[in-house]
Structure formats: C-alpha cells, structure tokens
Chain A
Amino acid sequence: MNRIQRLFQGKNRNILNIYFTAGYPNLQDTETIILNLEKAGADLVEVGMPYSDPLADGPTIQESGTQALQNGMTLPLLFEQLEVVRQKTNIPLVMMGYFNQVMQYGEQKFFEKAAAVGIDGLILPDLPLYEYESKYRKIVEELGLSISFLISPQTEAARVKKVDELSNGFIYMVSSSSITGAKSEISSTQIDYFERINAMQLKNPRLIGFGISSHATYRQACQYANGAIIGSAFIKAVGGSTDVAASTRDFVKGILTA
C-alpha cells in the first residue's frame, strides 16, 4: 500500500490536494512548496512537470510552465529534487504531466524512477485508457504506483466504470467541461453530475478539480466528493510572491479556514 492509499484509508473526507508547477516561481522552490503545503495542512501534493504545450491547462498553468522551463526545470532535475524532499516528508506525492514527457524519458525508466524517488501516484491526462491498459498497467501496478484517470460531466457511465477499474488511488473528477482555471462557482448542473457519480458506488475515492479556488468552493466540492484539487489559484498565489514559503502556508490556511 502506498502513501495515497494509506491516506484515504485513514481519512476519506475534506482531502486537500494542491497542484504546483515544479520550477515555478523559482527553480529551487520544489522543496519549499511541498514542505510548507504539508505544514499548513494539505493532504496530497501534485507535482506538475512543466510542459511546452499543456493542452488541458488554461493560461495560468501554461504560463507557469513556460516560466519553469525558462528557469531550467527538466525531468532529471525534478527527480533529483523529489528524492531529497522525500527524505524530509511523508506526504503523498503525485506527478502530473503530459505523456510525451514520459515517452521521451522512456516509459519504463520513468515509472521505475518515479517509484524509486518516492513518488506515489501519476496523473497523465492525455494517456488513453487502452494504451495504459495494454502497455503500462502491469508495470505501474507492480511498482506500487497509483494512477488517477480523469472523468468529466460528459464521460459515459460505462467509461466511468472503466476509469474506476484502471485507477487505483483516486479518480480525478473534472468539475465542468473546461480547461483548468476556467470557472469560479459550482452550478446546479455540476451538482447533478457529482451526485450521479456518487450514486455509482465506485471503488476509488474522488477528488474534484478545475475551478476550485476558494474556501467556499473547496467546502462545496468536499460535500460532493472526498476532497478537492486546487491548481491555478495556488499558482497565482505564489506567482508574484517574494516569500514563497509564507505565501504557500497562507494560501492553504485560507482554503481550510473561512
């Protein structure tokens, strides 16, 4: 059992998962951000591998990725940083990125390296289910890594079940039909969708992401799922900051308390 699975075994409500883009705002902020997220009460951290062409992301995350790449972030460097961070914390860590990055690193080598440095889970939004199932599921599961696939309001029931079968950590529930950072309130159509998914009795816990940006939206998401994922709002909070550690803690406190 990895740290993600242990987390959900001990706590299945109000999970706070924060996404950050590795290498942003500064190349060496990875450790500062992860440790301060943990200190302030985040349950899970999603480490974004910056990418030149992030199709599912809005302008905030894309710009942070561009900046991170300009700062000199690469996958080998990120793995080095994460190996060091892992000695200092037990918080579950998920790597999020686009499949081309994994392909260029070498799929098998990437999965092995991720497991070796203490990564617990993966989110690869453009990796198709059938590619994963036919080529990578075996090694990912053997290495004890979790993988989270996405569902959206348009995902059909049969496919939600397939996502549930292949995911083994949590399901990433995209709150609305959108790229990241796009919306700011939860609508009644979204609530219908959350309730429809809840009624399906899936084996994996669900975290709601996309458009969660405040204490209020976090609380709302927690009513309909096991927790929430916040990305763009956090990127904005640390973006202009001169004290990344303090901004990180303040942001998490602001989400957790009214």
Chain B
Amino acid sequence: MAPITVNEQGYYGEFGGAFIPEMLHPNVEELRQKYLDLSSQPDFQREFQHLLRDYVGRPTPLYLAKRLSEYYGTTIYLKREDLCHTGAHKINNTIGQILLAKRLGKTRIIAETGAGQHGVATATVCALMGIQCIVYMGEVDIKRQAPNVARMRMLGAEVRPATSGSKTLKDATNEAIRDWINNPVDTHYIIGSVVGPHPYPDMVARFQSVISEEIMWQLEEHTGKKYPDAVIACVGGGSNAAGAFYHYLNEEKVRLIAVEAAGEGIHSGKSAATSVLGTKGVIHGSRTLLMQTEDGQIVEPHSISAGLDYPGIGPMHAHLISTGRAEAISITDEEALEAAVLVSRREGIIPALETAHAFAALKYMQYKPSDILVFCLSGRGDKDLDTYMKHL
C-alpha cells in the first residue's frame, strides 16, 4: 500500500484540493507555499516545542485505565488531551497556527467554533500573543456551550453569532470564510479541524500529530510496544483523530477507528454520520464526503455534541474510510451520554460529549482480551455538564 500522505495539489487519493473563490486564493496560496518551510525552521520549532511543554503542559499522560479495562475485558489506555491547557487537544493546532500567523505578518485572527473548544484555544493563543481575535459561532452552539462563550469573552475575544442555515459549526465556518474574503491582507484564519482547502487539512494534522508521536514512546515505556492494536478517536471534522492516527497511518497492523455522531439514529434524519450518509462533494473548500441532497445542497446535520455536529469530514479521513484503512463507527446521542457516565464513574474523568462517542464505540468493536486499545481522550466535559445533568 502506498504511504498515506497529501500530494502537491492537496489530495489524499481523490479527496482534498482547494475549491475556493478567487478572493481567497492569494491567502491560501501564500500559506501553501510557506507552511512547510516556516514550520520546519529551527526558531519556529524551538518556540512551538517550548509552548507545548511549558504553556500547554505536554507531554500529556498516557494513562492505563484499569477499571475501564476490567469492565470491557481488555487493556485500555487513555491519551489525556483533556489535560492540555484549555481542556482539549485543540490548542496544539492553535499554537502552531498563531506562530505561523506571526511569521506571515498577520495582525488579526479569525476562527470558527462548534463546541467552543477551538474558539477558546484560539482566544487563548491570541491573548498570549496580544493579537485581535474574532470567533464565529453558531447561534445554537452559543446557547448550548455557554461556559465556553464566557471563557472566550474573558480572554478578550469577540464572539460573533452565525445566524444562517442550521446556526451551528457549518454556518460558523461559512461566516469565518466570508470574513477572510472581506479582510484578505491583515487576517489569518485559524481553522480548527482537518477540513478546509489545502493546506489546512495537512497543516492541522501535522500540528496535532504530537498526539501520536507521544503515544508511541509512552506506550513503549508502559508496555514495551510502540504499536497498539487499535487507536480510537471521535471524528467531527477529525482533528484529534488525525493527530492520534498520524504516526500510525502507514502501520497497517494498527487499526484506526473513527467514531462519528449518529445523532438520534443514522437514518432518523437527525444525524451527523457522514461515513454512512455522506457522498462525494465539495464543502468548505475541499472535495470530501459530506451529507447532501441529490441536488448538491448541504444537509443540516444533528448531534447532541456541538463539536461533531458537522455535515462533512476531513479529506484525509474520507480517504482512510473509503479505502478501508480506517473503520468508521456511528454512535447515537443516547449511547454517548451513557458512555460519558460510565467513564466518569469508573475512572473519575468526565469526558467531553465529543470524546464520549469514542468510548461508546467499544460495544460495536471486535477486540480480544490481549489487545491494547488507545483512546484519544480529546477533551474534558466541564462545558457539557448542563447537558449531562439534563440526562442523568
């Protein structure tokens, strides 16, 4: 099998590319030409590694979850991205992109956010660097993730509601893209997931790849083996999954399991199960799998988790799933809530609703007692307590 990587035009197999209006071309092209070079410079790497260690708190632990392992009759490790500063993996990427933005001479940052974790992570690095920050967030998400809205405001960011369409992550992304079209010179758009036009999917995956880089050496310390039997992560756009899979992409003995949101049921009409319901098309600048009508209109998704409430999936994941390299499992709102309670009570860790989907996948997975499973515990659940309390 050919190594899984992105080509010059930004394609993973048939997925990817840069389907953008001309007004975005100069910005996206500048990034494409410079992201690899700038991010590999020694001064960039020094600053990036320093901030990941002393500011974010990396490496995050790889924790043997004994009581969960016992419950499921196998060996489960948790990659504790919930312990990152701001409470989720999102900050790995925003640190990388803010350092790039500075080197590109940008003075204004925009971002989209669903659950608010990426918005908080962006507001955080903007405060750290003293750069203006505007976060677009769907009106629906502003209501259901109020604590994160407050955090962004506390950090000095302006939160602008996206009021079109389903008023969720897709629409926040549309608004951020429109802002970038209107502000092409001074602004950098920090996309929070492995979506968007090339080079974003590859760039974000690289910044998040620290997750699997650490898993490799940490797992070896724990078990003497670098390679688990499976890596399991939730997928909305797919950034924590991209980071957790990254260094295992070409190691076929490691199963990659992408867990998406089935909402109220895959065929309920209220779902975000893109791997099942999606067809090939273009969303937010890349050719990928997305939920759409026969006429090519994008369908409004549903998930109880704002971070997974997205009608598409990053092009790398579309490629991994359609070639069979990754397995996709769809989890309903109800199953995710049950898993959140289980993990909270057996490990003393309250996971984010997004992450809870990954844990719920265990009941649909084939695994052996001798297996080693690594879960990416992508974020903590403080922001979801309101939702949890309603369902407890």
Contact = CB atoms under 8 A, between A and B. Distances in A.
Nearest to A58: B178
A184 interface: no
Interface string B8-29: 0100000001111111011000
A157 B38 CA distance: 25
Interface stretch (B74-82, B95-103, B276-284, B334-342): B276-284
A242 interface: no
Interface string B162-187: 00110000100010011001111100
Contacts of B17: 128, 131
Nearest to A76: B295
Given A55-B178, A128-B18, A104 B292 contact: yes
A23 to B, nearest CB: 12
Contact of A177 (B9, B182, B279, B295): B182
Contacts of A12: none
Contacts of B297: 51-52, 69, 101
Given A128-B19, A150-B23, A103 B281 contact: yes
B296 A103 contact: yes
B282 A177 contact: no
21 contacts: A52-B298, A55-B20, A55-B21, A55-B285, A56-B21, A69-B297, A100-B296, A101-B297, A103-B281, A105-B295, A125-B21, A126-B282, A128-B17, A131-B17, A152-B22, A152-B26, A152-B184, A177-B181, A178-B181, A179-B23, A179-B178
Contacts of A128: 17-20
Interface string B146-176: 0000000000000000001100001000100
Contacts of B23: 56, 150, 152, 154, 174, 177-179
Nearest to A172: B22
Nearest to B10: A128
Contacts of B26: 152, 154-156
Nearest to A59: B164
A62 B178 CA distance: 12
A74 interface: yes
Interface residues of B, number: 34
Nearest to A55: B177
Interface string A143-161: 0000001111011100100
A191 interface: no
Contacts of A151: 22
Interface of A: 51-53, 55-56, 58-59, 62, 66, 69, 74-75, 98-105, 125-128, 130-131, 149-152, 154-156, 159, 163, 174, 177-179, 182
A119 B241 CA distance: 45
B43 interface: no
A99 B164 contact: no
B184 A104 contact: no
B54 interface: no
B21 A126 contact: yes
A71 B19 CA distance: 28
A56 B21 CA distance: 6
A75 B295 CA distance: 7
Contacts of A104: 279, 281, 292, 294-296
A53 B165 contact: yes
Given A100-B281, A156-B26, A179-B178, A74 B170 contact: no
B272 to A, nearest CB: 16
Nearest to B177: A55
Interface string B277-312: 001111111000000101111100000000000000
A74 B296 CA distance: 10
Nearest to A54: B174
B33 to A, nearest CB: 12
Nearest to B27: A154
Nearest to A182: B182
* B20, B23, B165 — most chain A CB neighbours (10 Å): B23
Contacts of B292: 100, 104
A49 B22 CA distance: 19
Contacts of A126: 19-21, 282, 285
Contacts of A156: 26
B85 to A, nearest CB: 33
A51 B56 CA distance: 41
A158 B357 CA distance: 49
A155 B22 contact: yes
A100 B181 contact: no
B22 A125 contact: yes
Contacts of A69: 297
Nearest to A155: B22
Given A52-B297, A55-B174, A179 B22 contact: no
B178 A101 contact: no
Nearest to B164: A62
A150 B296 contact: no
B298 A53 contact: yes
Contacts of B21: 55-56, 125-126, 150
Nearest to B299: A52
Interface string B184-213: 110000000000000000000000000000
Contacts of A53: 165, 170, 174, 283, 298
Contacts of A102: 296
Contacts of B20: 55, 126, 128
Contacts of B170: 53
Given A152-B26, A174-B23, 5 more contacts: A55-B178, A55-B285, A58-B178, A100-B296, A103-B280
B68 to A, nearest CB: 40
B285 to A, nearest CB: 7
Contacts of B184: 152, 154, 177
